A and B are shown apart, each in its own frame.
Chain A
Amino acid sequence: MAYAIEMKHIRKAFPGIVANDNITLQVKEGEIHALFGENGAGKSTLMNILFGLYQPDEGEIYVHGEKVKITDPNDANRLGIGMVHQHFMLVDKFTVAENIILGKEPSHLGRLNMAKAVKIARDLSDKYGLDIDPLKKVEDISVGMQQRVEILKTLYRGSNILIFDEPTAVLTPIEIKELIQIMKRLVSEGKSIILITHKLKEIFEACDSVTVIRRGKVIDSMAIADTNPDDLANMMVGRKVNTQINNTAYEPKGKVLDIRDLTVLDSRRVKVVNHLSLSVHGGEILGIAGVDGNGQEELVEAIAGLRKASSGTIEINGQDMTNHKGRKITENGFGYIPEDRQKDGLVLDFTVGENLALQTYYRKPFASSGILHPKVFTQQAKQLIEEFDVRTPSERTLARSLSGGNQQKVIVAREVSRSPQLLVAAQPTRGLDIGAIEFIHGKLLEEKQMGKAVLLVSFELDEVLHLSDRIAVINEGRIIDIVNPKETNENELGLLMAGHKKEAHQA
């Protein structure tokens, strides 16, 4: 069997950490090969090496059996290797068509031929069934469409080996299904795909074989037919993991969060939260289920004081917090795990230690009379890194250089460790590995048992179903129903989320 890609004995070290340690990866032609491993295991690093963004310290790369040197993305493109990055590489202000042709523009004597560019985009989109609008600006399209643009970029360059770095982390379940269809179609046309994902379900649905890596080393590589989800999970984490969530007893206390008749406008001044009322009690996890874009983001931002409520009230711990400043809300017992970790959750150019103290730095014992006490920062950081298992060389490492999943753990550690009365968690396990998800689910349940209120927003229906004590279904900015997770299932939820209230109940 011929290999599309062979990476042999790859080693790559960063200051304080060996990200890839003697890694060998073999991808057969025409297969979807999963790269499976914990947060910070070195998956993105390995792929960045294959794409020419990083240079390996040691090791060899073969493409279609030929030994090659890939020193920059140009080389990769020439060899037919394309990559869809974990954090998208799109120019927001450019149109879809401009993004697709950038770097390989149709032109005549230096003059751009935009009409041709648009046609190229349309033709490619038709050929592969990837729905896009070539004339829209990237900043105005959905994440799902942005991803399709990324795929088209690689196809336009004639790539026959495609790397997908955690493409599904930011997609909704429907978009994930579509993406898997797309990948299968590409493979049937003779392309080879490397897929990085943390979701076992996707691996077993889409892939032909899998390579498991842990802490920079390959643990094993096998055909999907020869393994099963439990084994794979255990292999990756290096211990037995419990993928089944066991919710604990439900003993609700008084209202901690009380939202009444809340209306929020989005940036285009459309009512995205529409006279919504909702309350969350101490000792409960309230899950919000809904299709992306039905107001959950804006609702959460309004609670956090990041977006103005145009009418209605938000009470936390019995105090009116509507349109108050972030710090005031935080000090009133509010913890927040934001959806966009890089934008709202971290200061990427601060160290891990500083990021862990972002909510408390101005208070004793972190500071007195306006002077910071670095020792206390270090102490707390070390303890949280240990407790939350953040994989980082040290507390002095910049948040920017952490792997995606570990950045998320820093936020969770900061917010949960303060043990706030109300914890709002938006997509708290996005991009996390199974072990980390298990851990964070455990933390949320712990908070609940301590009598805290937890508001969970997630696109993972599994997560919502298994963690929540009550599920509020949001549709077009309103809560259209509140259901008991023990008396419902994914199908009923799906119907409710689509706005079919009555039918769902009769079913």
Chain B
Amino acid sequence: MSFFQVLTIIIPSTLLTAAPLIFTSLGGVFSERSGVVNIGLEGLMWVGAFTGAVATLFLEHAGVGAASPWIAILIAAAAGGIFSLIHAVVSISFHADQTVSGVALNFLATGLTIYLVKMIYNGQGQTPYIANNIDKTTIPVLGHIPFIGPIFFQQVTYTSYIAILFAFICWYILFKTTFGLRLRAVGEHPEAADTLGISVIKLRYIGVMISGVLGGIGGAVYLVTITSNFNISTIAGQGFLALAAMIFGKWHPIGAMLGSLFFGFAQALSITSQQIPYLDRLPSVVLMIAPYVLTLIVLTGFVGKAEPPKADGVPYFKGQR
């Protein structure tokens, strides 16, 4: 097998697995840039995946057909946004410890989604498989460019490109708009923002809710492009990988995207290893833990000093000096 062929296997697979991570880690960037630590990304992905499955199934049943997963993603975005409100209220309005609140969000998501699955599907532990997932296709025109086409634009889903596009949109919003400047100010020095008449509370709510929306999208995309049904092991740590990608990317949207692509690559290695010379001789266990080991190594050794926004994780009390 030529190196070219290896690339045509690994790169599309990387793009596929990276997409949910990109969405979710971008969500993390918004929340933490506003000063609210969000380790509830995992829970938000659970909610997104669950909603994605149930909504797709419902829409299919209603005869919507191929558009079902796309509409389901939008519904999941709304669900994630609403679910993240819990984190916002608890940690912003009630000044609770943000890490604890995030952990609680994760537990709540796990329990709630599995409970609802059992309730909706007569006690079963998982949802049925959706019939209309978002399939791998060849992108028109681009897919036929020699060399580049087969590597980057064949056997791919549109969601990957939307995710990458989102990264650039998020960068634009954070660094080129008034809203972005204020959001970052609130995450760096809330007292200063307050003295300038910027509402710390409002911007932090918005930051957290954007993370909810993007986390919901991330979970749903994972479901409709990769797993096709929802059960207790569907998400299994994807949200934490997204969190790691965000830190890896130093709280920068483009960085988070690159981090997500890297972790996507690590996962792609283990998924496609059977088709790749040399790798297929490694025990499968090694490849399965590879993404996590790579994550650890990268986060401890190679990122350099990852400096979070200054007020990240610090509740804001008005009138405290």
Contact = CB atoms under 8 A, between A and B. Distances in A.
A134 to B, nearest CB: 15
Contact of A92 (B177, B195, B310): B310
B197 interface: yes
Overall SS of chain B's interface? helix
B197 A94 contact: no
Interface string B181-209: 11011001101111111100000000000
Interface in A96-126: 98, 102-105, 107, 110-112
Interface stretch (A71-79, A207-215, A469-477): A71-79
Between B192, B195, B319, the greatest number of chain A beta carbons within 10 A of the residue's beta carbon is seen for: B195
Given A72-B197, A85-B195, A102-B196, A111 B176 contact: yes
Contact of B197 (A73, A87, A90): A73
B178 interface: yes
A185 to B, nearest CB: 24
Contacts of B178: 105, 107, 110-112
Contacts of B233: none
A309 B87 CA distance: 47
Contacts of B176: 111-112
Given A91-B189, A93-B188, A400 B321 contact: yes
A105 B321 CA distance: 26
A102 B178 CA distance: 8
B94 interface: no
A53 B319 contact: yes
A196 to B, nearest CB: 15
B115 interface: no
A89 B177 CA distance: 22
B58 interface: no
A361 interface: no
B195 A90 contact: no
B185 A102 contact: yes
Interface residues of A, number: 28
B179 interface: yes
A439 interface: no
A362 interface: no
Contacts of A94: 181, 184-185, 188
Contacts of B122: none
Contact of A54 (B181, B195, B319): B319
Interface in B263-321: 310, 318-321
A102 B181 CA distance: 7
Interface in A204-229: none
Interface in A63-84: 72-74, 77, 83
B275 to A, nearest CB: 46
A73 B195 contact: yes
B195 A91 contact: no
A149 B185 CA distance: 16
Contacts of A488: none
A89 B310 contact: no
A111 B174 CA distance: 11
A368 interface: no
Given A94-B185, A103-B197, 20 more contacts: A72-B194, A73-B197, A89-B192, A89-B195, A90-B192, A91-B185, A91-B188, A91-B192, A92-B188, A93-B184, A94-B181, A94-B184, A102-B182, A102-B185, A107-B178, A110-B177, A111-B177, A112-B176, A112-B178, A401-B321
Query: Which 7 pairs across A and B sit closest by C-beta, in order of nearness?
Result: A103-B196, A74-B197, A89-B192, A105-B178, A91-B189, A91-B188, A107-B178
15 contacts: A53-B194, A72-B197, A74-B197, A89-B195, A91-B193, A92-B189, A93-B184, A93-B310, A102-B192, A102-B196, A103-B193, A103-B198, A107-B177, A112-B176, A112-B181
